[in-house]
């Protein structure tokens, strides 16, 4: 059966980017008509991290503006849209609720079907949007809030092989950048200064490297960098530029090695499925780091698996991936009703026990 | 006089409420108490109020939404829904504060005091809008029912219509709870 071409409005507000986009196409064959992202970095700059209440306030007053801008850039009216897709979790609940209510209001007003999309599914389905990659493919989602290996079997079927048991790498990059007196966001700052650093001066840990499975940990690494910095500060009352560069480079190498080592394990599990066109895809802001990307590319190529990193604008949070996930999913399921919930926790793979926050509220991701 | 149908909604407290008015005539008002689940309930409640009067979304001239002060998440639920509806219906949405809404449904001699957490109230006078202990307000107006709050919001908007409003924005009063980063950067040696 031919799937008809659909034009979807996507809405994303789960962290610190308010985004709207219009995507047109059919599953595996889509293109972005517009993608608007209003970042909030300047609002959170003084606080050393995303402040949930500040983020929620900004989303509530920017969502409709970003939607109007996305429609205008696509040169379309709401009457030329076929459905609305909105991130309904996981994420900072204040922003997710605003996005979901905005989408419900639009849906009620226009009669357009409403699809609640898991933010992680948006990232995980991005290779379908950018390159029409065939299922099943292996996905590493690595960002400021998430880190997990997934096998994408279908538009709504994901198998988690493993992930971080504590912090996400992007979070660690930001934290370490602050420890070293570098700017935010930490990823680009650390990558830039690492180019001049000695990556073997500090022997930082590669946690869980010798444990079986694909789980990762970055919290201890952060602490190890803090200790090394404090030792230097205690000995010489500050850091030399060379210390900053060496600490940054040694840290980046540890993150790279952890991700590369576990990628090899994940690839092994994935290749056991005998995929017809094996493909290893990466998404999330940390995928922009060239040292990490080169390491992932190398391990992939060693196993004769094609490697794909979507362009950065579709790797970091955006609404085009949400619209695309909507197009993928509307081929296999019906729309959500007006009782659609916004969820702070929303694991993608519901069949496996969650790795994070497995308390009484359930798994986060 | 031609019909001027305005739908008011309010989720600024532990409730979901809607009111439908035509000019100054209150057609229907309905509120439900709920500590949680407003986001799941609101749209169906609005459609039920419209349907009970034989109306649909396309009959509306304008929307009114309670902007607080009140529960932060609650007022964002109402404001976001109203902004989405306004964008989709291409009609104005008027943001109405809890003080403005109450002025239409409370006795004029009483002082408006809006419940805040920890036995405090929001008041608004020539010293501005602020939070004070509830015990300091002896002549407080009784807190209106959720249905009355939605009605007050709609009545307030009826007096503003058809002027083009600023998009409704939550009236937080309180600054966001956020502390500047504590960890001082290391001294960089030259």
Q: How confident is the model at residue A2 (pLDDT cuts 50, 70, 90)?
A: low
For A342-352, the pLDDT digits (tens) are 999 998 887 76
Asked if residue A280 lies in contact with residue A305, where contact means CB atoms within 8 angstroms, the answer is yes
Lowest mean pLDDT among A275-279, A344-348, B45-49: A344-348
| Residues on chain B touching A223 (C-beta within 8 angstroms) | none
CA A230 centroid distance within chain: 31
CB within 8 Å: B181 and A342: no
Q: What is the DSSP string of B145-172?
A: PHHHHHHHHHHHHHHHTTSPPPPP----
Q: Is A315 helix (H, G, I), strand (E, B) or coil?
A: helix
Q: CA end-to-end span of chain A, whole Å?
A: 34
Which positions in chain A touch B77 (Cβ < 8 Å)?
Answer: 97-98, 101
Per-residue pLDDT averaged across B114-123, rounded?
A: 95
* Confidence at B1, pLDDT banded by 50, 70, 90: very low
Neighboring chain B residues of A57 at a CB cutoff of 8 Å: 76, 170, 172, 176
Interface of B with A (CB under 8 A): 39-44, 46-47, 57, 72-73, 76-77, 79-89, 167, 169-170, 172, 176-183, 185-190
pLDDT digits (tens, 9 = 90+) for B153-183: 999 999 999 999 999 999 999 999 887 777 7
A354 pLDDT band, cuts 50/70/90, is low
Which ranges of chain A does DSSP label H, i.e. alpha helix? 41-44, 52-74, 93-110, 119-124, 126-131, 169-179, 186-194, 219-236, 241-271, 290-302, 312-315, 320-330
Q: How confident is the model at residue A141 (pLDDT cuts 50, 70, 90)?
A: very high
Predicted confidence (pLDDT) per residue in A72-87, tens digit: 999 999 999 999 999 9
Distance from CA of B90 to the nearest CA of A (A): 9
Cβ contact B177–A53 (<8 Å): yes
Residues of A in contact with B189 (CB under 8 A): 236-240
ipTM here: 0.96
Burial of A20: CB neighbours in 10 Å, binned 0-12, 13-18, 19+: buried
pLDDT band for position A361 (50/70/90)? low
Top residue of A70, A98, A246 to mutate, by most chain B CBs within 10 Å, is A98
Whether B80 shows a pLDDT value over 70: the answer reads yes
If one counts every other C-beta atom within 10 angstroms of the C-beta of residue A312, the result is: 11
List the single residue in A93, A103, A179 with the smallest CB-CB distance to B84: A103
Which of A63, A97, A105 lies nearest to residue B88, judging by beta carbons?
A105
Which has the minimum average pLDDT: A65-69, B84-88, B89-93, B139-143?
Answer: B139-143
d(CA A289, CA A249): 12
Contact A64 B85 (CB under 8 A): no
Q: Are B83 and B112 in contact (CB under 8 A)?
A: no
Chain B residue closest in CA terms to A181: B185
Q: Identify all chain B residues contacting A20, using CB atoms and an 8 Å cutoff.
A: none
Which residues does chain B have within 8 Å of residue A185's beta carbon, measured at their own beta carbons?
A: none
pLDDT tens digits for range A160-196: 999 999 999 999 999 999 999 998 889 999 999 999 9
Distances in Å between the Cα of B56 and the Cα atoms of A102, A113, B61, B151 are: 19, 17, 11, 18
Nearest neighbour of B176 by CB, restricted to A54, A68, A341 = A54
Q: Kindly report whether the peptide bond that precedes residue B13 is cis, defined as omega within 30 degrees of 0.
A: no
DSSP state of B58: G
Mapped onto helix, strand or coil, the DSSP state of residue B133 is strand
Question: Would you say residue A1 has pLDDT above 80?
Answer: no
CA-to-CA dists, residue A358 to A95, A147, A347, A350, angstroms: 23, 16, 11, 13
pLDDT at A36 over 60: yes
pLDDT at A102: 98
């Amino acid at each position: 059966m031919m799937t008809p071409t659909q034009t979807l409005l996507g809405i994303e507000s789960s962290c610190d980017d308010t985004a709207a986009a219009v995507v047109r196409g059919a599953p595996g064959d889509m293109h972005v008509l517009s993608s608007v992202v209003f970042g909030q970095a300047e609002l959170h700059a003084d606080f050393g991290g995303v402040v949930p209440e500040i983020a929620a306030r900004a989303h509530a007053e920017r969502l409709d503006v970003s939607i109007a801008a996305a429609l205008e850039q696509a040169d379309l009216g709401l009457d030329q849209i076929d459905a609305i897709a909105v991130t309904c979790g996981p994420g900072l609940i204040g922003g997710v609720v605003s996005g979901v209510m905005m989408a419900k209001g639009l849906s009620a007003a226009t009669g357009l079907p409403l699809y609640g999309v898991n933010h992680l599914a948006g990232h995980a389905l991005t290779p379908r949007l950018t390159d029409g990659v065939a299922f099943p493919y292996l996905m590493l989602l690595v960002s400021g809030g998430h880190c997990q290996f997934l096998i994408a079997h279908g538009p709504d079927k994901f198998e988690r092989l493993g992930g971080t048991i504590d912090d996400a790498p992007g979070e660690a990059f930001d934290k370490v950048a602050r420890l070293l007196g570098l700017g935010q966001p930490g990823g680009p700052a650390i990558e830039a200064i690492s180019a001049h650093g000695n990556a073997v001066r500090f022997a930082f840990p590669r946690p869980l490297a010798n444990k079986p499975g694909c789980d990762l940990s970055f919290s201890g690494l952060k602490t190890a960098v803090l200790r090394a910095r404090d030792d230097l500060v205690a000995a010489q009352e500050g850091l030399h530029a060379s210390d900053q560069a060496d600490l940054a480079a040694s840290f980046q190498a540890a993150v790279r090695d952890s991700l590369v080592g576990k990628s090899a394990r994940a690839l092994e599990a994935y290749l056991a499925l005998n995929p017809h066109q094996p493909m290893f895809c990466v998404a999330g802001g940390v995928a922009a780091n060239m040292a990490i990307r080169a390491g992932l590319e190398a391990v992939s190529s060693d196993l004769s698996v094609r490697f794909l990193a979507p362009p950065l604008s579709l790797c970091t949070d955006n609404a085009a991936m949400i619209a695309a996930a909507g197009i993928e999913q509307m081929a296999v399921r019906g729309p959500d009703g007006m009782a659609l919930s916004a969820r702070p926790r929303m694991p993608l793979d519901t069949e496996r026990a969650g790795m994070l926050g497995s308390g009484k509220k359930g798994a986060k991701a | 006089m031609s019909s001027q149908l305005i739908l008011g909604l309010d989720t600024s407290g532990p409730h979901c409420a809607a009111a439908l008015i035509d000019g100054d005539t209150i057609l229907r008002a309905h509120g439900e108490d709920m500590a949680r689940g407003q986001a799941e309930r609101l749209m169906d409640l609005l459609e039920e109020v419209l349907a009970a009067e034989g109306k649909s979304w396309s009959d509306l001239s304008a929307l009114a939404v309670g902007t607080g002060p009140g529960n932060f998440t609650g007022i964002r639920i109402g404001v976001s829904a109203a902004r989405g509806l306004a964008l989709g219906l291409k009609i104005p949405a008027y943001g109405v504060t809890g003080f403005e809404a109450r002025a239409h449904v409370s006795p004029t001699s009483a002082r408006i005091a809006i419940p805040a957490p920890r036995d405090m109230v929001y008041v608004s006078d020539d010293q501005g809008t602020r939070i004070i202990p509830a015990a300091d307000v002896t002549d407080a107006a009784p807190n209106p029912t959720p249905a009355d709050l939605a009605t007050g919001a709609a009545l307030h908007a009826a007096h503003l219509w058809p002027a083009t409003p600023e998009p409704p924005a939550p009236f937080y009063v309180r600054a966001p709870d956020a502390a500047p980063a504590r960890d001082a950067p290391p001294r960089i040696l030259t």
